[in-house]
Amino acid sequence: MKRAAKWSRLLSVVLLITSCGSTPPPVPVVVAAPPPAAEPAPMGRLPTYVHPTHYALDLRIVPDQDRFSGEVAIDIESTEARSFLWLHAAAMNVSHVHVSREGASDIAATFEIGGTEGVSAVHLAESLPAGRATLHLTYDAPFDHSLKGLYRVDAGGAAYAFTQFEPISARLAFPCFDEPAFKTPFDISLTVKADQVAISNTRALEESPVEGGMKRVRFATTEKLPTYLVAFVVGPLDVVEAPAIPPTGVRTRSIPFRGVAVHGRGAELAYALEHTPAILQELERYFGIEYPYDKLDIIAVPDFGPGAMENAGAITFRETLLLINSAEASEDQYRGYTNVMAHELAHQWFGDLVTMPWWDDIWLNEAFATWMAYHAVNNTNPEYEAPLSFRDRSFGAMGSDSLASARQIRQPIESSHDIRNAFDSITYSKGGAVIAMFERYVGEATFQRGIHAYLEAHRFGSATADDFLQAISEVAGRDIGTPFRTFLNQPGVPLVSVELSCEPESRRIIARQSRYTPIGSTASTDQSWQIPFCVRYEVNRQPHEACALLNHEEEHLTLPEATCPSWIMPNADGIGYYRVAMTSEDLRNLREHGWARLNPRERMAIADSLRAAFSANGLAPADLFATYPILASDETRQVATAPMGLLDLAMEWMPDEASRAKVQGYARRLYTAQYNRLGWEAGRRENGETHLLRASIINFMALTAKHPAARREAVRRGRAILRQWQGGPVDPYRTSPDLVDVALAVLVEESDVDVWEALYALLTHSDDAIVRGRVLGAMARTRIPALSDRALALSLDPALRVNEAMWPLGSQMNQLETRGRAWAWIEQNFDAIVARVSVTGASSLPWYAADFCDEEHAARVETFFASRIEALPGGPRNLRGATEAIRLCAARKNVHLANTTAFFNAQRP
């Protein structure tokens, strides 16, 4: 998935059941007043003495009603006799339950529904012997309204039903063993309106009429799946039949392929339907294993929580990722589709074909899909420069990983909070970066063979981190698991301090490792890793590379050349998951003699390490800012934009408008050459990277540096776009889709209530997620107090979809001028926010406060959440991380403010 309470009653439900069969008719169940369970509910994973072997699901789904209903038969095997069973079922009414066994009488039962987390009990009228049995349940439940379980979405005047079960929401749709280790086949039938479409994980085998204008759709038996990968979609859908994906060198059959969207939007699937087969075929080529399922549907969902979800054979996406209007699509939208499609298709192998048995190994799903997506995209769309985007995400993860409160990649699951927290940048981006580092260490071809061996050994089953590391080690012929686990099982970013030593008798690289810690951190630096370390250097203008596995606190790499290198780059290819610290002499030599010879990933790594050194008080403000002209003029987008974040922060630090104006003046001068070179109009032969660089430069110049000409042009274009959207003449400037957002945002900042009202009218009349996102993003930029209040209130406005409701809060909290007002509004309206987006949707709220930069607000945030945070899934760790970030910012400001202010005050206006 595009990626997480107290443990006692959450993830466990023991289900004591036995053997399949039929005899006398079922005995009606009495649900009220069940006897107490003879043992407490499981505190973690379900017991091993019972497991499901097959599900038969028969659901009646009518999306324009309030509730759905179903019958479930679960075949199970038990290793011991039981008088009661546990299972997962939440927010539903179970009206009947009994257990059947082949050749024996049915056993009557009563059902005790669990709390909000769904640990429920089945109490049997007599002991169920060990062996096989079938548990039968009849139930009904409400459609969820917070984008999880089986939930309803209204779009274009019609109602639809979609599912989102990961991680633990299948229990909202049907009683089940809701844990990833329990992979079984599913037989699914859906009864729906006769004129509507029903979709699930496999091909529909037959449709039969049902009384009352209904039909029953029966689907082919699935491969073995965990509950979180099951999917249903029902409604008046557009289904676009694409050509079957033809056989490849590893697959002899064709794959039926369809696109699905709400009524009237099917034509917008054309781009995705055209380009998806190439991505799937590239993944098959890499894995050497055919796509595992009997068909592929890609499904656009109007209101959806994650970016996408890898349901086997029925992948769901936010509409913005699949519905692409070529005349209005931005470069970001095209790349978003490609990257997320590659990620979700990679999951069909990593996660679906082979599944982690428990949530501590979710990284096996998400880190591998993240890493594999960039591998695939780099081959299908090399112009996207996927390796650079991948590294950029890795450096972003280092920010989170620098916190003392950071979690490790393979985090033990001690509560349900840990499951929710697992879907974060540590799992996705750090995990992916560590995989890439060890791929280089092992060798690409060897690593690929290890991946193939791992998938083949565990196909349609489950596997752990140890299984994966064993497979790679066996193919590599050496122990990969031990060094890999030093990154997997502890948090933190390694800092490798490097010094070049040249003496008459030897040339050495001295490398010392510790944990990177920013100013004010409480984390211990006394950590060590086994780091695949490579340094690139140049002798007599000839490039060389030296590598070693750093096992100790200090190690020396002897260079074989007789001459001292003119420069060293201590993270060859920028692929290592570590930061570097260099002596001032080595850094100067790199900047003066080696910078032009570094590849883009290496320049990105140096830029990140410079920023990190400033945050750790290893680099003075003036020394950091002295590097900015060379970074800002770089031809690589990720390097050129590297100074922007700290310049934005410096403006927030400044005590008054006059000081902020000095920072803005410096920022404008820094990027004027780029702004003038790129302009607002794209050249005929420009590539996508140039489009994205232009958008970043104009966005920064107009919104942060307040460049007068950039703002005037943005307002001019923003008014033209608004007039066109209101039904007026076509925008005469033909503004690039990459620049529409900044044009509208500056228009709102420079306008009064009339523009804001016009945008609100557009928002309420459009079902297009791209248009809605642009409009909402602009409206939330307002700084006018009265409109700021209205922007915040949008979060509770029913005109917004659930997945849009938090956007205005985030935007208002991101702006210095509106942050205090926005936080006070959140405090006052917290209960209403939770009611609007659910406790899960509100669990990230502590992070909305992370842009504060003083102890007073850190304490205020802690006090506010003290009695509330436990109810938010994943909330406790989010609160610790957010308040730590606030305090680290305050500590950094305390150390650097005087020198930062002096630097900018010395700049010309």
Q: Are 428 and 3 in contact (CB under 8 A)?
A: yes
Single-letter code of the amino acid located at 553: E
Q: Are 297 and 258 in contact (CB under 8 A)?
A: yes
Residue with token string 């409400």: 142
Residue 341's SS3 state is helix
Residue among 310, 344, 555, 749 flagged as catalytic: 344
Handedness of CA 553, 559, 564, 565 (dihedral sign): negative
Handedness of CA 423, 426, 429, 434 (dihedral sign): negative
Q: What share of the chain is helix, strand, coil (3-state, %, to 5)?
A: 45, 20, 35
Respond yes or no: is residue 344 known to be catalytic.
yes
Residue 355's SS3 state is strand
Handedness of CA 303, 309, 312, 316 (dihedral sign): positive
Please give the Cα distance from 876 to 870 (Å, whole number).
6
If one counts every other C-beta atom within 10 angstroms of the C-beta of residue 443, the result is 12
Q: Give the C-alpha distances (Å, rounded to integers) separating 386 from 229, 688, 697.
A: 28, 12, 20
Residue with token string 């307040």: 706
Whether omega before 236 lies within 30 degrees of 0, making that bond cis, reads no
Any idea what DSSP says for residue 799? T
Q: Are 813 and 849 in contact (CB under 8 A)?
A: yes
Rg (CA), the chain: 29
Residue 55's SS3 state is strand
Q: Give the C-alpha distances (Å, rounded to integers) separating 509 from 110, 542, 570.
A: 71, 18, 9
Closest by Cα among 513, 448, 455 to 487: 513
Please give the Cα distance from 319 to 770 (Å, whole number).
8
CA 414 to chain centre: 22
Q: Are 475 and 453 in contact (CB under 8 A)?
A: yes
- Tokens found for residue 130: 């060990």
Q: Are 307 and 4 in contact (CB under 8 A)?
A: no
CA angle 310, 313, 315 (to 5 degrees): 40
Question: Which residues does the annotation mark as catalytic?
Answer: 344
